Structure 1
Amino acid sequence: MSTPTTTGTIAVFGATGQQGGAVVDALLDHGARVRALVRDPRSGRARALAARGVELAAVRADDPASLAGALTAVEAFHFMTPEANSLEEVEAEVRIGTALVDAAVEAGVPHVVFNSVFGADRESGVPHHDSKHRIEEHLRKSGLRATMVRATAFMENFTSVMAPSLEDGEIVLRLPLPEDVALKMISIRDIGRVAAALLLGTAEAPGGAVELVGDELTGPRIAAAFGARAGLPARYEALPLSVLPTDLDRAMFRQFAEAAEEPSDLAAVRSIEPATLDLAGWIRATGWTAPAPVAGS
């Protein structure tokens, strides 16, 4: 384990969520001092952080003074913005991200790490990805030392919205992606570990950004990985984009397909976090087991 060069307090906005929580976990594993910027210090998730030794700072996204005050005397700052599910929420996300950047400027934060998304270095036509592009642009123009951590699809989605099923003794995975398209993915744990290494100064991202890809596999190979774990045959079925419930979801999966054409630098991610999980490793690490059979199969 490298010795951290950042030894002061590190602020985290979004610490009660999945990705921000993973950053806090990784920082605490290194013995770092963490200050969580939270809306309600009395919430159950905030109290759970405090019980682990995390300092809590109450903030309001529409109150610049509270944001700047919470960032006073920190050595580094990690933030992510709320995931948008509508065009109105996209604009709210940009407002929050812009306010956080401005507060970091006001407080003179030495290093800011923004939890962005793959491809946010340019406009993609995906509204809730382009919102992060706009925040990245504001951060770049701020004059702050900044690093962009651009996440790809979460492996954890395979336990929820992208979970395989068990039908007639066979593992079946269905996604709205052509079978020859490789999905880029990363575990939430490793998002936190990479961000923590950058915040602590034990690693750097060349060019000020790192695209977080722990693995990239086509649908049939993803299905095969789950089948191998279950000891069962597996198959993949590509679905049309029309099965997705919203325009935002359809735009996101189109972006996943387009991203497959871009090269991934898995070695760059592992140079920061050598233990970054590939999909098979994530399946083992999480103890995934085959689901209950689909009724009637």
Structure 2
Amino acid sequence: MSTQKTGTIAVFGATGQQGGAVVDALLDHKARVRALVRDPQSDRARTLAARGVELATVRADDPASLATALAAVEGFYFMTPEANSLEEVEAEIRIGTALVDAAAEAGVPHVVFNSVFGADRESGVPHHDSKHAIEQHLRKSGLRASMVRATAFMENFTNVMAPSLEQGEIVLRLPLPNDVPLKMISVRDIGRVAAALLLDTAQAPGGAVELVGDELTGPQIAAAFGAHAGLPARYEVLPLSVLPTDLDRVMFREFAKAAEYPTDSAVVCSIEPATLDLAEWIRASGWTAPTNVAGS
């Protein structure tokens, strides 16, 4: 049986959504957390400090600051900034490589990288292949490493993929074919799985965990929201051309391709037994049908 670590766990990206979920889960386990931040005076950093999180000021282009911040930690979680252009993809690889090199220099016992589903192979999606490159660099580093490969966030249904209410009906529109299931995970569960790996209360089979909490087609997703709201629901397929950037279009093509690859949800549930499926996330998130009725 694994024994939970009692030393400090370093987190890069702690002021963001996924890194913040990792911090939440670690603090739930009474772990000591050191957040690697660029600006310790930012509102988000100060909020972390108020919760008992140690702050270490770093710059991604300053290897010495990274290595110093990682000194004497028992585990290190990091994620890289989401890229929205080819230039940002190159920057993401530079940052990820620098973090891996700093962890190697500091001799960190265990590194957990927040990657993306399918990053074990080259996909042709630039901001997914960047994570493939970072994974490869991490594996070559000689460090003990675990990858948590996230799928689409359920939280996207509160913003960019939010269903609408139209003439008393819940309507969900996505650029995804009717019969293609979307793999999904809640951000909360990304944090909980990563924390379990960092604390050594769980292991990643083969060094990676594909994070899937649910897998539903567009009509099934719409039906889940409709059932929660007590309203009829329908799904409409959008053309990829509605997406604002080439990277977004390539990413949704990859979402469709990802359905071809089997996933074992039992692995995620063995690490986090309370992993949320979509219906549970809808309830837990407090989602309610929008009040602005389109077309009326």
When normalised by structure 1's length, the TM-score is 0.99
Question: Hey, what's the Cα distance between the residues in 1 that align with 2:93 and 2:136?
Answer: 11
1:273-288 correspondence runs (5 A): 273-288=272-287
1:161-240 correspondence runs (5 A): 161-240=160-239
Encode CA deviations 1:10-37: one digit per residue, 9 max, x unaligned: 0000000000000000000000000000
Structure 2 match to 1:124: 123
- Conserved? CA contact 2:40–2:57, under 8 Å: yes
Structure 1 match to 2:134: 135
Structure 1 match to 2:158: 159
Structure 2 match to 1:246: 245
Q: Secondary structure at the match of 1:82?
A: coil
Structure 2 match to 1:100: 99
Matched, 1:37 2:36: yes
Encode CA deviations 1:178-210: one digit per residue, 9 max, x unaligned: 000000000000000000000000000110000
Encode CA deviations 1:151-187: one digit per residue, 9 max, x unaligned: 0000000000000000010000000000000000000
> What is the percentage of aligned positions where both structures have the same residue?
86
**Structure 1 position 296, deviation (Å):** 2.9
Encode CA deviations 1:43-74: one digit per residue, 9 max, x unaligned: 00000000000000000000000000000000
**Structure 1 position 3, deviation (Å):** 7.3
Question: Hey, what's the Cα distance between the residues in 1 that align with 2:234 and 2:181?
Answer: 15
Structure 1 match to 2:13: 14
Question: Hey, what's the Cα distance between the residues in 2 that align with 1:5 and 1:177?
Answer: 41
Name stretches of at least 5 consecutive residues in structure 2 with no aligned partner: none
**Structure 1 position 295, deviation (Å):** 3.7
- Conserved? CA contact 1:184–1:217, under 8 Å: yes
**Structure 1 position 294, deviation (Å):** 2.9
**Structure 1 position 148, deviation (Å):** 0.3
Question: Hey, what's the Cα distance between the residues in 1 that align with 2:231 and 2:63?
Answer: 55
Structure 2 match to 1:81: 80
**Structure 1 position 264, deviation (Å):** 1.2
**Structure 1 position 5, deviation (Å):** 2.4
RMSD of aligned residue pairs (Cα, Å): 0.9
Structure 1 match to 2:50: 51
Q: Secondary structure at the match of 2:191?
A: helix
Name stretches of at least 5 consecutive residues in structure 1 with no aligned partner: none
Structure 1 match to 2:147: 148
Encode CA deviations 1:114-137: one digit per residue, 9 max, x unaligned: 000000001000000000000000
Q: Secondary structure at the match of 1:83?
A: coil
Question: Hey, what's the Cα distance between the residues in 1 that align with 2:196 and 2:9?
Answer: 12
Question: Hey, what's the Cα distance between the residues in 1 that align with 2:71 and 2:292?
Answer: 54
Structure 2 match to 1:71: 70
Matched to 1:267, the amino acid is: A
- Stretches (4+) displaced over 4 A: none
Question: Hey, what's the Cα distance between the residues in 2 that align with 1:122 and 1:140?
Answer: 14
Counting matched residue pairs gives: 296
Structure 2 match to 1:265: 264
- Conserved? CA contact 2:164–2:294, under 8 Å: no
- Conserved? CA contact 1:14–1:38, under 8 Å: yes
Q: Secondary structure at the match of 1:284?
A: helix
Question: Hey, what's the Cα distance between the residues in 2 that align with 1:130 and 1:275?
Answer: 31
Q: Secondary structure at the match of 2:293?
A: coil
Question: Hey, what's the Cα distance between the residues in 1 that align with 2:134 and 2:293?
Answer: 43
Q: Secondary structure at the match of 1:251?
A: helix
Structure 1 match to 2:255: 256
Question: Hey, what's the Cα distance between the residues in 2 that align with 1:296 and 1:213?
Answer: 35
**Structure 1 position 287, deviation (Å):** 1.1
Question: Hey, what's the Cα distance between the residues in 2 that align with 1:74 and 1:65?
Answer: 16
- Conserved? CA contact 1:168–1:293, under 8 Å: no
Question: Hey, what's the Cα distance between the residues in 2 that align with 1:192 and 1:127?
Answer: 25
Structure 1 match to 2:110: 111
